[in-house]
Amino acid sequence: MPDSTVPPTPPVPLSALLAREDLALRRIAAPDDPGTVVHWVHTSEMADPYPYLLGGELLLTAGVHIPEAAGSGTYFDDYVARIVAAGGAALGFGVAPVHDTVPRALVAACEKHGLPLLEVPPQTTFSGVARAVWQLMAQARLSELRRVTEAQQSLASAASRPDPVPSVLRQLAQRLGGWAVLYGPEGTEIAGAGRKPGEEAGSALAELSGVVRPADGGPAPTPNLPVPPPPNRPHPTSATDTVSGTHLAAYALGAGHGFVLGVAAPGRAPGDHTIVSVAAVLLSLLTGEQQSGTGAARSSALVRLLLGAAPEDVAPLLGDGRRWVVVHARPDGEGVPDAVAAAALGAALGSALVDPAGDAVRVLVPADRAPDPLPGWTLGVSAAVAPKDWPAADTQAARALARARATRTPLHRHGPRPALADLVPPGEAAAHARTLLAPVTAHPALPETLRTWLSLHGSWDRTAVALSVHRNTVRQRIARCAALLEADLDDPDVRMELWFALRHI
């Protein structure tokens, strides 16, 4: 008989089927093995069901095929032997209408071959048994999907903690009820969590990691394990083994860094491979980030900034671009962007320099990757600047985002161009602005409200939207500005002078 075809749904323990009071099934032959499972149900009255079985079935029969003299020959022994050879999980015999009781010779044959034999009472239909199996399968499948989903969420949450690698290993070990370990490129144990296996299983897991760890010139053979494939064959990215009843698995992380995730668990549930695969992907990103040139360069740039270096001195570590744009982004709707959404935005913009600050996300992007509108986001983009002008570009992007939200456009770019303000020396313009706006700068909300209101041509509603306040609040603040400045804000000349001044504070 060829290997049985395993269906995608989890199997049902035979004990769970026997526990169904509505079925009233009774085991009358073969020992009670808690490991017996049913993959599906098949009904047949064939004298030889072998050709019609795939393996793992609960075979149901009413005994129509049994000849009258069957009890005196080898009929039942041959019949049961063929079911066992086909991989049948159990046999259910329906009492009535053909037979009043289960034939004793059938019971003896099932005992001899170790095939569980169930008595199906008259009130229980075969279709009812099949339906119960499908229901138990659906429940098991739903439970497994829920377990996998919860595990994926907890692993993703662990990856966002300040200590992501140990956190992911701890969460993985907890979900598997075993041991999770990260091996370095040299095969040394870097971090581990959970219940450590025995010495034999632990040594076997360390050796198993060598099977999936790439090495210069191709993988080297590992003692007591199959010789790795020759160079012309794909190198395995995962390997499994069982030692002393402990299930072992090793997963290569990333591409070429040499890190390996190893797990050891007392059992292996259907969803465990999916859970470990998610952890392997997260650890690949975490370890790859630390080992890649880009990740190391970003860490170096951060350290230098914290130690007092100027932005223009660390900018070469962040990329080849000499000019940059700052992007401020807010998601459409009322939600506040989380770390996952911010990371996705950075990926879409082609930059890992992302700061999810408050209700907006700030992204530093090389100027040659100037963004286009993105579905679900409103963007404000600064002018392209050199690193020394990043703070000014940050302010430009914030104002551009406010303008984009006020005008309900998906993207607004700050576009510098020669203007009358360029005729006034910056120092003198700043001094004039401080003097002119001194009455309102003592109140932090007033200058920004005035700037937004002027940029939107005095629109109360659009200013309220841009500042996320009520329109009456805008009216009160503008009235307060007019009173403090002792100016007529309906006068275009006054508005123009204030607008020029606001650009210098």
Percentage above 70 pLDDT, the chain: 88
- C-alpha 43/C-alpha 59 separation (Å) is 6
Mean pLDDT calculated for residue range 193-208: 89
Other C-beta atoms lying within 10 Å of the C-beta of residue 298: 18
Other C-beta atoms lying within 10 Å of the C-beta of residue 3: 8
Is the predicted pLDDT of residue 2 greater than 50, yes or no? no
- C-alpha 196/C-alpha 471 separation (Å) is 63
Is the predicted pLDDT of residue 88 greater than 90, yes or no? yes
**For residue 459, which of 420, 408, 494, 396 has the smallest C-alpha distance?**
408
> Which pLDDT does position 220 carry in this prediction?
38
Most confident residue range from 122-136, 178-192, 213-227, 385-399 = 122-136
Is the predicted pLDDT of residue 25 greater than 70, yes or no? yes
The 8-class DSSP code of residue 382 comes to -
CB 416 within 8 A of CB 441: no
Is the predicted pLDDT of residue 3 greater than 60, yes or no? no
> Which pLDDT does position 479 carry in this prediction?
93
> Which pLDDT does position 5 carry in this prediction?
45
Higher pLDDT, 19 or 499: 19
**For residue 502, which of 485, 490, 486, 488 has the smallest C-alpha distance?**
485
Residue 417 pLDDT level (bands cut at 50, 70, 90): low
Residue 235 pLDDT level (bands cut at 50, 70, 90): low
**SS (HEC) of 82-150:** HHHHCCCCEEEEECCCCCCCCCHHHHHHHHHHCCCEEEECCCCCHHHHHHHHHHHHHHHHHHHHHHHHH
Torsions phi, psi for 4 (to 5 deg): -70, 150
Higher pLDDT, 379 or 420: 379
Residue 277, strand partner residues: none
Fold category of 12-136 in CATH: 3.40.1390
DSSP-assigned letters across all residues of 60-82 = EE-STT--TTGGGSSHHHHHHHH
Q: What radius of gyration do the chain's Cα atoms show?
A: 36
Task: Give the distance from CA 280 to its chain's centroid.
Answer: 11
The residue whose two tokens read 């050879």 is 85
Dihedral (C-alpha) 295, 299, 301, 303: value to the nearest 10 degrees?
Answer: 180
Is the predicted pLDDT of residue 104 greater than 70, yes or no? yes
> Which pLDDT does position 289 carry in this prediction?
52
Instruction: State whether CATH 3.30.70 applies to domain 322-413.
Output: yes
**SS (HEC) of 144-195:** HHHHHHHHHHHHHHHHCCCCHHHHHHHHHHHHHCCEEEEECCCCCEEEEEEC
The 8-class DSSP code of residue 261 comes to E
Mean pLDDT calculated for residue range 168-182: 91
Residue 365, strand partner residues: 325
> Which pLDDT does position 226 carry in this prediction?
43
Tell me the two tokens of residue 479: 């009235």
- C-alpha 353/C-alpha 315 separation (Å) is 12
The per-residue pLDDT of the chain, averaged, comes to 83
Most confident residue range from 91-100, 148-157, 421-430 = 91-100
Is the predicted pLDDT of residue 116 greater than 90, yes or no? yes
Mean pLDDT calculated for residue range 54-82: 91
Mean pLDDT calculated for residue range 124-143: 92
Percentage above 90 pLDDT, the chain: 33
Tell me the two tokens of residue 90: 């159990």
Higher pLDDT, 230 or 442: 442
pLDDT digits (tens, 9 = 90+) for 241-259: 888 888 999 888 865 567 8
CB 255 within 8 A of CB 245: no
> Which pLDDT does position 56 carry in this prediction?
92
Tell me the two tokens of residue 315: 């900018």
Instruction: State whether CATH 3.30.450.30 applies to domain 160-291.
Output: yes
Other C-beta atoms lying within 10 Å of the C-beta of residue 71: 14
Which helix (H) or strand (E) segment is 366 a member of? Answer: strand 360-366
User: Which segments within 401-494 are labelled E, that is strand?
Assistant: 411-413
> Which pLDDT does position 37 carry in this prediction?
92
**CATH of span 420-502:** 1.10.10.2840
Is the predicted pLDDT of residue 217 greater than 60, yes or no? no
**First vs last Cα of the chain: how many Å apart?**
84
Higher pLDDT, 319 or 96: 96
CB 176 within 8 A of CB 154: no
- All structural domains of the chain with their residue ranges: 12-136, 160-291, 322-413, 420-502
Query: ∠451-393-480 over CA atoms, to 5°?
Result: 15
CB 117 within 8 A of CB 102: yes
Largest CA distance in the chain: 118
**For residue 398, which of 370, 421, 378, 371 has the smallest C-alpha distance?**
378
> Which pLDDT does position 6 carry in this prediction?
45
pLDDT digits (tens, 9 = 90+) for 257-294: 678 899 999 887 778 888 888 888 888 877 765 555 55
Give exposure, 19-43, as e/b (b: 16+ Cβ within 10 Å).
Answer: ebeebebebbbbeeeeebbbbbbbb
Higher pLDDT, 151 or 428: 151
CB 67 within 8 A of CB 76: no
- Judge if the upstream peptide bond of residue 34 is cis by omega within 30 degrees of 0: no
Task: Give the distance from CA 207 to its chain's centroid.
Answer: 29
- Which positions ≥6 away from 172 have C-beta within 8 Å? 155, 180, 193, 194, 263, 275, 276, 279
- C-alpha 287/C-alpha 257 separation (Å) is 8
Mean pLDDT calculated for residue range 84-92: 95
Amino acid identity of 65?
Answer: H
Which helix (H) or strand (E) segment is 466 a member of? Answer: helix 460-467
Mean pLDDT calculated for residue range 155-180: 87
> Which pLDDT does position 82 carry in this prediction?
95
